[in-house]
Amino acid sequence: MSTAFETNGAFSWTELMTSDVAAARKFYGQLLGWDFQDMPMQQGGTYTVISAGGQKIGGIMHTPPGAEGMPPTWGSYITVDDVDTRAAAVKKLGGKIVIPPTDIPNVGRFCVIHDPQGATISLITYSMPAQP
C-alpha cells in the first residue's frame, strides 16, 4: 500500500508561513488538538512539524526573508514522480514557475507553480517516501 508521499498526484503535505509561529501553534493546538515538534532548518531557523493522531501532516515556518509583509498563508504540496519533468510541463501547459525545482535537504525536491488561472501550489518528489 502506498502513502501520499509515494503516490503521484496525491496531496501530501500542508504548510503555514506566518510571522507569529507561537500564536499559530497556540491557536491550532487548542482548536484541533495538534501536536508540534520543532526541528532546526539547515539554512537556519526552526521548522515546526504538525502531527494529528500521531501522524505528521504538515508544518509551520516563519515568513522567509524577502517576503516580509506577506499575510500568513497556508500552502499545499502534491507528490509527483519527477519534479523536474513536471516543472518543465508547467510552462508547456500555460502555467508559471514561481520557485524552480529546489532541493530540501533530507526531504526531497520541490517547486512552486502558478496554474494558468494564477492559483499557487507546490509540487514535490520525496527522497524519503515514508515521511518528509
For residue 131, what pLDDT is reported? 47
Q: Show the 3-state SS of 66-80.
A: CCCCCCCEEEEEEEC
According to CATH, what is the number of the domain 11-126? 3.10.180.10
The pLDDT assigned to 65 comes to: 83
Look at residue 48 in the predicted model and tell me its pLDDT. 97
Domains of the chain, by residue range, sit at 11-126
Which parts of the chain register pLDDT below 50? 130-132
pLDDT of res. 1: 52
> For residue 41, what pLDDT is reported?
87
Instruction: Indicate the length of the chain as a whole number.
Output: 132
Contact indicator for 121, 115 with CB cutoff of 8 Å: yes
Residue recorded with cell 491557536: 27
How far apart CA 101 and CA 110 sit, in angstroms, is: 5
Question: How much is the pLDDT for 102?
Answer: 95
Residue 35, phi then psi, degrees to nearest 5: -105, 155
Number of separate helices (H) and strands (E) present in the chain: 2, 8
Q: What is the DSSP letter of 119?
A: -
